[in-house]
Amino acid sequence: MSLAHYRSIAIAAALSLTFAAGVHAADGAKPAEPAPPAAAKPQRAKPAGRDNLAYPPKLDGAEVQVYKTIGDVKLNAYIYKPADWKASDKRPAIVFFFGGGWTSGSPGQFEQHCKHLASRGMMAITADYRVKSRQGVTPVECVNDAKSAVRWARANAEKLGIDPDRIAAGGGSAGGHIAACTGVLDTFDDAAEDAKISSKPNAMVLYNPALDIALIADRLGDVAPKLSPLQHVKAGVAPTIIFHGKADTTVPYASAERFETAMKAAGNACKLVGYEGQIHGFFNYGRGDGSMYKATLAETDQFLVSLGWLKAAAK
């Protein structure tokens, strides 16, 4: 059996677990057995943000709007507005998609990212989408919903105070995958929606995203290559930044390197920021001492400044 085949099995198994990036312990280890009462040590304080994967989410300060209805399923967009927002604004916006192996997860994962970017003047949205554990869907429907969310933001730009030409898609792990799909795939749009309104973002912000889905073809079957961002890179893809831990064994760092190479070869702007020793989900709010969350958020901010979407932060 080939090394590539073993790798595909490992990645498929890891991504199929019902977790969203960020729920692991800070060191990625399995929970220890409880110590005997006499030797028990005081428990560590629960890191801030560890509850950000609750579902349905209760997000402080977010305005909730339904962006899509499928049967009896209503998918919400959780919207964070700048303090001085008004409907006549034409602000840049970002739509985030949570991780969880296309199986679970919560829009709460990107609550703190949204609050920061709203404080910087952006419209920031964290979107729900269908997943296997709740609606019994496949990654195809996940991508379909992500495209719907971007299209909804653009279709409602005037009401939301958004510039329809400055909408970014962001996400982590499986959420990073579907965010990338909105930018590179020309298929999997909802047939019931207005195709004249583009579902493609004007920028992408991706955190340890699954970009080479061909690696897990054994799990997804014939549709895998069609859902693989790496295999569909072409000229005209929006400027992209990728954050990835070099010690990530769930989604190999090398897959992000291949995507960056393909993007640049096609003439697209793409920057991969690698982090030595960091594992999957390292960027999340509440992970470890918070330094990686702050570092990746600062890089995200600077990327948006470089696009002219935000003003440089005061030092």
pLDDT per residue of the chain (315 residues) written in tens, 0 to 9? 444 444 444 444 455 443 333 333 333 344 444 444 444 443 333 344 445 779 999 999 999 999 999 999 999 999 999 999 999 999 999 999 999 999 999 999 999 999 999 999 999 999 999 999 999 999 999 999 999 999 999 999 999 999 999 999 999 999 999 999 999 999 999 999 999 999 999 999 999 999 999 877 777 778 899 999 999 999 999 999 999 999 999 999 999 999 999 999 999 999 999 999 999 999 999 999 999 999 999 999 999 999 999 999 876
Distance CA 188, CA 192 (A): 12
Predicted pLDDT of residue 179? 99
Spacing of C-alpha 23 from chain mean position? 15
Q: Which residues contact 312 (CB under 8 A, 6 or more apart)?
A: 305
Predicted pLDDT of residue 15? 53
Predicted pLDDT of residue 53? 78
Distance CA 293, CA 286 (A): 8
Predicted pLDDT of residue 5? 43
Tokens of 180: 């990338």
Tokens of 223: 């549709």
Provide the β-strand partners of residue 297.
none
Q: Encode 87-109: b = buried (16+ Cβ within 10 Å), e = exposed.
A: eeeebbbbbbbbbbbbbbbbbbb
Distance CA 124, CA 100 (A): 21
Predicted pLDDT of residue 56? 92
Tokens of 205: 């912000």
Tokens of 267: 């003439």
Q: Which residues contact 247 (CB under 8 A, 6 or more apart)?
A: 253, 276, 277, 278, 279
Distance CA 67, CA 85 (A): 20
Instruction: Confirm if 241 and 271 have CB atoms less than 8 A apart.
Output: yes
Predicted pLDDT of residue 51? 53
Tokens of 234: 């072409």
Q: Residue 25 — φ and ψ, nearest 5°?
A: -65, 160
CB-CB neighbours of 268 under 10 Å: 19
Q: Encode 8-33: b = buried (16+ Cβ within 10 Å), e = exposed.
A: beebbebbeeebbbbbbeeeeeeeee
Q: What domains sit in the chain, N to C, each tagged with a CATH number?
A: 3-20+48-306 (3.40.50.1820)
Distance CA 284, CA 98 (A): 11
